[in-house]
Structure 1
Amino acid sequence: MKDEQDLPPKMRTSGQKVPGKPLPRPQDPVEQEFWERCQDGHLYFQRCGNCGLFRHLPRYMCAKCGSPEYSWERSSGKGTLYSWTVTHQALHPAFAAEIPFVAAVVELEEGVRMATRLIDWNRENLALDLPVQVEFETVGDDFRLPVFRPRER
């Protein structure tokens, strides 16, 4: 491999400014409310006021009974690994220093599934139903993004 000084300036890692991680850009007030609630360091999900079903992604009507009634309920933040992939290519420059990383779907105790990123993982321990716990990563200007880490059973 060449010495960095032998590379053109655009290819030198020391000369590149890494952009910040992209932030969610909600298009709807109910989705915006989900992200605003995350900023206190806890997850909240909608719960149907009629049948009690938890739901995520946020929406205006229950998928089970069609009721427009709901409340926001605090989640335990505990769940299990439902699906994952180990990603070896950063599709955004802000994630380049973190590859490989795990893009995951977590099933929470409340029954909802959430796309997320798994942190502090060990390849040998990745398995279906791996217990996980939410944590919040600060990105951008003090924006908290939910991520998950393995936890003891």
Structure 2
Amino acid sequence: MSDKNELPPKMRFKAQKAPPKPKPRPQDPIEQEFWNRCQDGHLYFQRCSDCGTLRHLPRYMCAKCGSPEFSWERSTGKGTLFSWTITHQALHPAFAADIPFVAAVVELEEGVRMATRLIDCDHDSLRLDLPVELTFETIGDDFRLPVFRPCEE
């Protein structure tokens, strides 16, 4: 087989250079603000100025009281594993080298739940309420994506 198109489908990813991982492409200024704030190496959530509820994903009105008023508050970056699945198939060729990877929902100390990836972990050690901490994966030369890793216990 001399042509890469003649390769079996499962080998085609390995025969090509992986494309860069895609960056979020927010369509809304409030979502863009969330990603901009992540670039300083910290995680921020909106807090309703009227009822004090934290909200994520970012949005214009509080789901609890309907207020449009909010401020951005920095998270501690500490939480626990709420749910997870081990992904064995890359849905985008940029993630082929990472499989299997852990797609997770983390519940932060502040009570916000966030969909993310869990890195640097032994899959056999995954359990509910596993303590995790925030870290960032650099995508490309200039973009930081929030991910989590198990805490040193």
Q: Does 1:120 align with 2:120?
A: yes
1:7-46 residue pairs with structure 2 within 5 A? 8-10=3-5, 11=7, 15-46=15-46
Q: Deviations over 1:64-90 (max 9, x none)?
A: 111111000000000111110000111
- Alpha-carbon shift at residue 7 of structure 1 (Å): 5.8
CA distance in 1, matches of 2:92, 2:13: 15
Q: Does 1:62 align with 2:62?
A: yes
Partner of 1:141 in structure 2? Answer: 141
Q: SS of the counterpart of 1:79?
A: strand
- Alpha-carbon shift at residue 140 of structure 1 (Å): 2.0
How well do the aligned residues superpose, as a CA RMSD in angstroms?
1.4
- Alpha-carbon shift at residue 16 of structure 1 (Å): 1.0
- Alpha-carbon shift at residue 152 of structure 1 (Å): 3.1
Q: SS of the counterpart of 2:136?
A: strand
Unaligned runs of 5+ in 2: none
1:99-114 residue pairs with structure 2 within 5 A? 99-114=99-114
Which residue type is aligned with residue 124 of structure 2?
E
CA distance in 2, matches of 1:53, 1:71: 11
Which residue type is aligned with residue 146 of structure 2?
P
Q: Deviations over 1:88-116 (max 9, x none)?
A: 11111111111100001111111111111
Q: Report the TM-score, using the length of structure 1 for normalisation.
A: 0.91
Check whether the contact 2:83–2:105 (CA below 8 A) recurs between aligned residues.
Answer: yes
Q: Deviations over 1:48-72 (max 9, x none)?
A: 1011111100001111111111000
Unaligned runs of 5+ in 1: 1-5
Check whether the contact 2:13–2:96 (CA below 8 A) recurs between aligned residues.
Answer: no
Which residue type is aligned with residue 9 of structure 1?
K
Q: SS of the counterpart of 2:148?
A: strand
Check whether the contact 2:13–2:93 (CA below 8 A) recurs between aligned residues.
Answer: no
